[in-house]
Amino acid sequence: FESLLYADRHTREVVGMVLVDPAVPGQTALMQRVAPATAASSESYTNGLIALIRQCVARLRDPSDAAPRPDCDIPYPATYPPELVRLLKAQNAQPANGEAVASFYENEDLSSRQAVNPKRDYGDIPLIVLTATDAPPPRPGTSAEIIAEAQPYLDAFSREHDALAALSTRGVNARVPGTTHYIHQLKPQVVIDTVNQVIAEARAARR
């Protein structure tokens, strides 16, 4: 959303765009329409997460609360360098960080609606949208209804990505086989190559 809004407001400063399996304007309404069971489950999970974050923030702000709260401790992968873990822990020990994360989730629907702009037009800048092709594997206990909604929702997202690509006359929606949402983790070279391609096309256009 930030990328789209920035490009809307600073057209002359944006000469090319790469969107990696991006969220789409009006996404909340799209999920409610195409995958209502998934939307309800996501809302329930998010509300619980927000409540937990708020509780952890309150604990950080209260120096008298020395009781251990394992649910407030974020586990980091064993592959993370010790210095990175130290910095992340220091960051997450700041109440403002938790408040920002809670605010992000609380305003997710508002952000989605604010990104809607029927007049959006990016001319002929090089624009590539990278789209995941696979739904993530269902978590244990996921209902059959939610599993059945996964493919229709993925298809709807892909069509919305077609619309994003169409914002430029040179736009392309490139589907990346064998990927779920985190394309940059699963196939980082695809992202690197796409960024380099857009940079090259933007430079060529200026020449």
Determine the Cα–Cα distance for residues 3 and 26; give it in Å rounded to an integer.
15
**Percent of the chain predicted with pLDDT > 70:** 98
DSSP label at residue 11: G
What's the pLDDT at 68? 62
pLDDT digits (tens, 9 = 90+) for 165-191: 999 999 999 999 999 999 999 999 999
What's the pLDDT at 65? 67
Does the structure show a pLDDT above 70 at 204?
A: yes
What's the pLDDT at 133? 95
pLDDT digits (tens, 9 = 90+) for 85-144: 999 999 988 999 999 999 999 999 999 999 999 999 999 999 999 999 999 899 899 999
pLDDT digits (tens, 9 = 90+) for 43-98: 999 999 999 999 999 988 887 766 667 678 888 999 999 999 999 999 988 999 99
Instruction: Answer yes or no: are the C-beta atoms of 122 and 12 closer than 8 Å.
Output: no
What's the pLDDT at 207? 75
**What is this structure's pTM?**
0.86
In sequence order, which residues have a C-beta less than 8 Å from that of residue 176 and are 6 or more positions away? 130, 131, 132, 133, 183, 187, 190
As to burial, measured by CB atoms within 10 angstroms (0-12 exposed, 13-18 middle, 19+ buried), residue 2 is: exposed
